[in-house]
Amino acid sequence: MFWERDNLDDDRNKLTYSNVFDYPLETDSIFRIFLFALVSITVIIGNYIPSFLTDTGSSPLAIFPVTEFYDVDKVFSSPPEEFFRNVMLFLRPITIQILYMILIFGISFAIYKKRPAGIIKKNDLKEINDREAVEALDNIRSKAGLSGKIFYYTNNKILDFSAQVFGAGKNLYLRAGKGLMIIIRKKNFDLFESILLHEFAHIKNRDISKTYFAESVLKIPFLITLLTSVILMFFALTKSIISRMIDTGISFGVLFEKILVYLNLFGQITILLMLLFLIFRMLIRSREYYADLRAASWKSAEFLKIHLDKNYEKEAAENFTERIFGYHPSSGNRSEILSDPIKIFKPSYKRIYIDTLVSYIFFSGAFIYGISFLLLVFTITGYSMLYLLKGMIDEVVHLTLVYTEMIFASVCMLLFLFLCGILMRKTFFFQTEKILITQKYKKDPKAFFPEIMKLSLFSSLGIISGFMLLPLYGFNVLYLKNLISIPFVFAITFTGFVLLNLFHYFWMDHKITNEYKVDYSVPVVLRIFEGAAIVIIFLSAILSFQFFSVLIFN
């Protein structure tokens, strides 16, 4: 078939441990998007809180029905009190969103900054003062090519043979158990060195801030948003039922319907947050492979492999929950990747599904809140200019100022969308690039076209799952007709993803598979094009979910 690559070159290059780092680390970009998605969800859920409190039944999208303000003539000719009342109507949702975001970031940042002190206190750690031990650690750190200060800590547990890195910002810490420092260092220095190199590899791979900041943000949706929204949901439901019972009496049907709506919302929020929690653990687990590979590029992988193989049998007893909630992949998988690093570049359908799901959440949040936020800010500014400067300056100058502001607003919104697209493109295309990397190093690579079809299929499923889970206008037990749009959205996104993946595959082919040096650079124009194309596909999905249901049922 035309898409099957000939295996002309039997002596393909062997992928070395260092070669792995010629390519970007798989989870680098998804971590950023994951953080934004967490914030999006928190804001989406958080926006329900005021509506529950006031029992207005409004959704986050209730910002849009305030359309009277968009009537230019009305704004221009309205009396001051009406103008300011309308301005306040706009400002209220913006203020709630901004305050909620500040609250999230404030608390997350505080948790993140205090985490190292928390770890030190919880584990009763003490700084290592033994000169010989510090020297040994410094030597290993130099071997890892790290020059910055790392604080070395240990505990008082002679049977603790583990190590861990943690920190916040530039303050980096290493915790090495007493058993590791005293016993393993003496009995098996190679293993001791390999373990510490693995830890320093986490620092080199910039895992610390990503992991600990994401963990801090993740605590907010779980601890604050979920708890608050559950309490408020229960409160609002009870209040609504009681007031109806007092006023008119309540039928079983109405009661059932109300409970169903709340259960639906609660179910979506819980599943979504659980899913994000699992995705976070999955991202951390995948960083372990890269830390192993980086460590292996500094010192023979043999010592880590011996340990991992030994551990493998023991892990077989671990149950499913331990595996999906754990911070580490199975020792068997780690050992396998150390034996054959090309396996790290095996295109993963599960990964692309999760990446697209997270990207959809991120983009929905960015579109609904980012764009609506910009729109509201610029509308208020523009209409304030229109209203407040009326009669004060020359009419032509006045209108020119207002139009300039509108054009500036449109450019800002477009740039914002491009930025989202550029952020998503790296994550999205990495699985496609994995096909090329595998082709470069593997003697029997799979045909790329079926791979691209599968990747596109799972991407589309990721978008649909995002739609079903996001507590916006997606899945609603009372409006199952919303689901009728799913096949249309699937057709649109799948076609879009196949075309885009094919384009990227052929564009990157000669750059990645060239036999001399990987050229991973992508021209800005192409990045903007691909970013814009991704934005268009995601935007089409978001709008199509609404459009096709309305089209069919109206």
- Which of 54, 95, 162, 400 lies at the binding interface for other proteins (CB under 8 A)? 162
Which of these segments, 13-21, 158-166, 233-241, 363-371, binds other proteins (CB under 8 A)? 158-166
Minimum CB separation from other proteins for residue 297, in Å? Answer: 16
Q: Should residue 28 be labelled a site residue for other proteins when binding is judged by CB under 8 A?
A: no
Sign of CA dihedral 119, 123, 126, 131: negative
Residue type, 273: L
Does 125 engage in binding with other proteins (CB under 8 A)? no
Read off the tokens for 110.
């505080």
With beta carbons less than 8 A apart as the criterion, state whether 43 and 364 touch.
no
Q: Does 26 bind other proteins (CB under 8 A)?
A: no
Among positions 164, 171, 330, 333, the unique one binding other proteins when judged by CB under 8 A: 164
Between CA 316 and CA 171 the distance in angstroms is 37
For the chain, give the number of residues.
Answer: 554
Least separation in angstroms between CB 187 and other proteins? 5
Which residue's CB is nearer to other proteins, number 113 or number 328? 328
Is position 282 an interface residue for other proteins (rule: CB under 8 A)?
no
Say whether residue 144 binds other proteins (CB under 8 A). Answer: no
- Residue 541 C-beta: closest distance to other proteins, Å: 34
Q: How far is CA 164 from CA 180, 293, 331, in A?
A: 11, 17, 17
Our CB check for other proteins shows the closer of 114 and 510 to be 114
Listed in sequence order, the residues at least 6 apart from 434 whose beta carbon sits closer than 8 Å to its beta carbon are 345, 346, 347, 348
Q: Which amino acid is at 380?
A: I
Answer yes or no whether residue 180 interacts with other proteins by CB under 8 A. yes
- From the list 149, 170, 187, 443, which residue makes contact with other proteins (rule: CB under 8 A)? 187
Among 22, 28, 190, 215, binds other proteins (CB under 8 A): 215
Q: Output the CA–CA distances (angstroms, integers) from residue 50 to 46, 361, 386, in the order listed.
A: 8, 22, 31
Q: How many beta carbons lie within 10 A of that of residue 364, not counting itself? A: 25
- How many residues at the interface with other proteins, by CB under 8 A? 41
CB-based contact 501:508 (threshold 8 Å) = no
Q: Is 323 in the site for other proteins (CB under 8 A)?
A: no
126 part of the interface to other proteins, by CB under 8 A: no
Positions in 59-118 near other proteins (CB under 8 A): none
Nearest to 183 by CA among 156, 164, 158: 158
Q: How far is the CB of 181 from other proteins (least distance, A)?
A: 12
Q: Among the candidate windows 159-167, 245-253, 436-444, 477-485, which touches other proteins by CB under 8 A?
A: 159-167
Residue 60 CA to residue 44 CA, distance in Å, equals 7
CB contact at 8 A, 104 and 47: no
What residue ranges bind other proteins (CB under 8 A)?
Answer: 123, 157-166, 175, 177, 179-180, 182-184, 187-188, 191, 195, 198-199, 202, 207-208, 211-212, 215, 284, 287, 291, 307, 310-311, 313-314, 326-328
